[in-house]
């Protein structure tokens, strides 16, 4: 059964054994001594991270560049040492624990993040960091050497906009240093706060060929794996994201004296916009998603018709052409709503992440590792953005998902069962070992 | 022409000469020496009030109980003295300037307010206060005595919820003392801040028979007078207002990983609610208005589906039964939207002002005064709430409107032409004198 399922998984991911340069998929099964990660240590470390930014709701607010973020890094640095890694903070504020390889090769990177959204959950990012540490520590304790140097990376301020990984991949633009992060610090101040040096960001940049491969374990943050009963997601790629700020200008006026047919109600227009975005994306019928998550009406009083409304718009898909087509429809819809309501829409793009496909060899290695562990796996896109998408621009990237209960994420109720955390770390370990064997000759 | 127009106006207001106890409407024309208010002084005082809470937008943010509110009262107190009035602050924080009458009668009150909404205009309330002061000062300078004592009242925190006038009319409930005002002060703190004593609010209450009559000059805040070319609005009554807080509960989730058909998007539900309110009220076809002016989505991030949204709802009509019928439709609509979007609506009534008809004798006196001044007048409802509605519960109430350019109010562009300010004050003066003659024998 496992063998058949594995073949189906590879086929679903558009893969065959050929991508591995191996005669059959099963040839990817570990040729070396099998070792297992310490699941209890993984779970204990996840628990140990919880207090850094814990909210009364039970959720986590460890905003990138915040005190809680910085304090948790001290703990992670200690764990790096425990895992036989030498920790340092690069100029971009990324925390990197490294150990040497047997050969003079570029390093294999395992990474994720420990910062969170406001009132988010305790698994997003955390699991990937703790999992990467566990891979390093299991290897060290088992005295297993890798050909490549190994680096465990805790990226700086992932949730704010993949800042640390974009600085490393060379995608970060200097003007962004002035932007405000949710911590209250600008990006520049935040990097300094974490121990980086924003005046020398060039020193953090890695070019194609300087990284052998990048692997990231992460919770799915959606409900697909749980719904179909699979344990491992073989990530096909990370969807592209475009973000806009939408400003609707009407006319503020008295809510009692202005007849319904004489209003230029910016909140009415914005409300129709929110509904139209939802209907437009659903009507498209694909896997694209569109969200308005933030809204503000001015002046914002019970007895005043809103004069201006500002809201966000975000569209995501694996194919940027789909995003662009949907946005054109949304723009046309906004135009129509503006005419109906005598308001004016101004939509400004503020954020672009291009889609980032994973490396086909990495997909096959993840599939093989899942198969080797007897775990059901499926190929799937990542709807969420991840630091892996930055790394995909400079190195072969692979990503492993484990199920999120109820598909809940970025919320206090975020949960991945203990067993699935352990399964994910095991697949990460085996994939990393296989990648060490396979990549760069 | 004036005579015909006056007769039409009275008829439109549902009035005949009989309500005055006079043989013909024209018998209401001043029997006494005609005096005119000083229009230049009125306009100069309006200008002098502008700096107290002036915004960069040109608008006015003189929130009730704010520093700007308190500071402006010091200036108005001085003007009261200039007008021959003795100023005092009652326990409710209302500023009252009074002078004695010729007879031992209950006082005639002229009042309005000087607090504003956030980023509102410079005429709402202000004109009525400056106009009332001008009536007192004109009478004093002309050595015209009234039979009734005269009081000019600056009500406390009108915009926040008619607090000062409701304390005087006995409608205020002690639990409201803990409510927050936009100034950041609770109602209790605000009353203290203005010099009142919230522990003795009973001392502010006036009962039926303790006030001979109440008159208020105010800008229309709608566009009707300007549209039809009339100068004076004879207010038939003040619409009832009911206000609700609407809470929509969905489920916060990741904006990238949650498919469109699996969302419980509270902001989508709230958007449909806003649109449904507008359509419901318009479909009713009457003069009712319905407004959602304030909205907040939580957690309120670009990349998180909103889990909860809080917004306001307000419905107004001259007939409370119409408000209740519309609200029942809105509730049914919210129920429907909740089912469509897998969210839950909780709608809580937070505010009720019953409709307040003006006194028919006062309407006739206003009509007569407008006619006597050669000004076109029309009977009309007030869509806005006013302190006059509190006073209507304990005394004969009359209200005079002057045109708002473009119907704009509660916004920086609020404007009433100088000539119309002057016309309004003249009608207020003549109506007050006629009321002094007519009311209470």
pLDDT per residue as tens digits for the range A390-403: 999 999 999 999 99
Is A2-239+355-438's fold the same as A240-353's?
no
Q: What is the pLDDT of residue A100?
A: 97
* Separation in Å, CA of A348 to nearest CA in chain B: 14
pLDDT tens readout for residues A126-169 = 999 999 999 999 999 999 999 999 999 999 999 999 999 999 99
| Chain B residue whose CA is closest to A119 | B299
pLDDT band at A7 (very low <50, low <70, confident <90, very high): low
Collect all residues of chain A within an 8 Å Cβ-Cβ radius of residue B281. 260
CB contact under 8 A, B270 and A271: yes
Q: Does the CB of B88 have a partner CB in chain A at under 8 Å?
A: no
Q: What is the pLDDT of residue B318?
A: 87
Q: Does the CB of B84 have a partner CB in chain A at under 8 Å?
A: no
Q: Find out whether B197 and B92 touch, Cβ atoms under 8 Å.
A: no
Tens place of pLDDT per residue across chain B (441 aa): 444 555 555 555 555 444 443 334 444 444 578 999 999 999 999 999 999 999 999 999 999 999 999 999 999 999 999 999 999 999 999 999 999 999 999 999 999 999 999 999 999 999 999 999 999 999 999 999 999 999 999 999 999 999 999 999 999 999 999 999 999 999 999 999 999 999 999 999 999 999 999 999 999 999 999 999 999 999 999 999 999 999 999 999 889 888 899 899 999 999 999 999 999 999 999 889 999 999 999 999 998 999 999 999 999 998 999 999 999 999 999 999 999 999 999 999 998 888 999 999 999 999 999 999 999 999 999 998 899 999 999 999 999 999 999 999 988 999 999 999 999 999 999 999 999 999 974
Collect all residues of chain A within an 8 Å Cβ-Cβ radius of residue B182. 301
Q: Does the CB of B259 have a partner CB in chain A at under 8 Å?
A: yes
Which CATH superfamily groups domain A2-239+355-438?
A: Zn peptidases (3.40.630.10)
CB atoms within 10 A of CB A261: 6
Domain B240-353: top CATH class = alpha beta
CB contact under 8 A, A293 and B267: yes
Instruction: Report the share of chain A in percent with pLDDT over 90.
Output: 86
CB contact under 8 A, A255 and B117: no
Specify the range with the lowest mean pLDDT, choosing from A284-298, A312-326, B23-37, B185-199: B23-37
Q: What is the pLDDT of residue B257?
A: 86
Sign, CA dihedral B229-B232-B234-B239, equals: positive
Indicate if the pLDDT at residue A174 is higher than 60: yes
Q: What is the pLDDT of residue A2?
A: 47
How many CB pairs (< 8 A) connect A and B?
Answer: 229
Collect all residues of chain B within an 8 Å Cβ-Cβ radius of residue A58. none
pTM, full prediction: 0.74
SS3 B209: coil
Collect all residues of chain B within an 8 Å Cβ-Cβ radius of residue A223. 258, 262
Q: What is the pLDDT of residue B30?
A: 47
**Domain residue extents for chain B:** 2-238+355-438, 240-353
Please give the DSSP secondary-structure letter assigned to residue B1: -
* Residue from A125, A228, A236, A260 whose CB has the most chain B CBs within 10 Å, to mutate: A260
CB contact under 8 A, A409 and B257: yes
CB contact under 8 A, B118 and A301: yes
In this prediction the ipTM stands at 0.75
Indicate if the pLDDT at residue A22 is higher than 60: no
Q: Does the CB of A183 have a partner CB in chain B at under 8 Å?
A: no
* Separation in Å, CA of B403 to nearest CA in chain A: 12
Q: What is the pLDDT of residue B2?
A: 47
CB contact under 8 A, B256 and A268: no
Per-position b or e across A377-410, b if 16+ CB within 10 A of its CB: bbbbbbbbbbbbbbbbebbbbbbbbbbbbbbbbb
Q: Does the CB of A359 have a partner CB in chain B at under 8 Å?
A: no
CB contact under 8 A, A382 and B259: no
Collect all residues of chain B within an 8 Å Cβ-Cβ radius of residue A243. 302
Of A260, A312, A408, which has the smallest distance from its Cβ to B278's Cβ?
A260
CB contact under 8 A, A274 and B268: yes
CB contact under 8 A, B304 and A410: yes
* Residue from A293, A307, A308 whose CB has the most chain B CBs within 10 Å, to mutate: A293
Collect all residues of chain A within an 8 Å Cβ-Cβ radius of residue B312. 302
Instruction: Name the token pair of A391.
Output: 């790394």
| Chain A residue whose CA is closest to B380 | A257
CB contact under 8 A, A271 and B268: no
Indicate if the pLDDT at residue A385 is higher than 60: yes
CB contact under 8 A, B314 and A255: yes
CB contact under 8 A, A272 and B275: yes
What integer is the mean pLDDT of A100-129? 97
Q: What is the pLDDT of residue B31?
A: 57
CB contact under 8 A, A260 and B290: yes
CATH number of B2-238+355-438: 3.40.630.10
Collect all residues of chain A within an 8 Å Cβ-Cβ radius of residue B159. 303
């Amino acid at each position: 059964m496992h063998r058949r399922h594995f073949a189906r998984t590879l086929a679903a991911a558009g893969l065959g054994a050929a991508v591995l340069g191996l005669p059959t998929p099963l040839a990817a099964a570990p040729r070396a001594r099998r070792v297992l990660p310490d699941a209890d240590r993984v779970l204990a470390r996840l628990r140990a991270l919880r207090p850094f930014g814990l909210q009364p709701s039970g959720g986590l607010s460890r905003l990138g560049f915040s005190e809680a973020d910085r304090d948790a890094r001290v703990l992670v640095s200690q764990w790096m040492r425990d895992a036989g890694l030498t920790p340092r903070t690069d100029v971009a504020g990324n925390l990197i624990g490294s150990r040497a390889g047997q050969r003079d090769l570029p390093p294999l990177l395992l990474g994720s993040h420990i910062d969170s959204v406001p009132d988010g959950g305790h698994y997003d990012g955390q699991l990937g960091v703790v999992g990467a540490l566990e891979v390093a520590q299991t290897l060290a304790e088992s005295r297993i050497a890798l050909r490549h140097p190994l680096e465990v990376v805790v990226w700086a301020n992932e949730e704010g906009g993949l800042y640390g990984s974009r600085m490393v991949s060379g995608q970060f633009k200097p003007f962004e240093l002035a932007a405000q992060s949710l911590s209250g610090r600008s990006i520049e101040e935040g990097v300094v706060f974490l121990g980086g040096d924003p005046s020398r960001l060039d020193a953090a940049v890695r070019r194609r060929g300087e990284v052998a491969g990048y692997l990231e374990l992460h919770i799915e943050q959606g409900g697909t794996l749980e719904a179909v009963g699979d344990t491992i997601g073989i990530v096909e790629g990370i969807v592209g994201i475009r973000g806009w700020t939408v400003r609707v200008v009407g006319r503020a006026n008295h809510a009692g004296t202005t007849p319904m047919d004489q209003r230029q109600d910016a909140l009415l227009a914005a409300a129709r916009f929110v509904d139209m975005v939802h209907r437009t994306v659903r009507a498209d019928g694909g896997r694209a998603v569109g969200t308005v998550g933030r809204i503000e009406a001015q002046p914002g009083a019970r007895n005043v018709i809103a004069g201006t409304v500002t809201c966000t718009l975000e569209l995501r898909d694996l194919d940027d052409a789909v995003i662009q087509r949907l946005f054109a429809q949304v723009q046309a819809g906004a135009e129509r709503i503006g005419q109906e309501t005598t308001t004016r829409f101004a939509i400004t793009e503020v954020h672009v992440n291009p889609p980032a496909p994973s490396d086909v060899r990495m997909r096959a290695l993840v599939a093989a590792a899942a198969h080797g562990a007897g775990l059901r796996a499926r190929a799937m896109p990542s709807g969420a953005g991840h630091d892996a998408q930055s790394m995909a621009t400079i190195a072969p990237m692979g990503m492993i998902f484990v199920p999120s209960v109820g598909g809940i994420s970025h919320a206090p109720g975020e949960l991945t069962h203990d067993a699935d955390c352990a399964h994910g770390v095991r697949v990460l370990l085996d994939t990393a070992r296989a990648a060490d064997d396979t990549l760069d000759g």
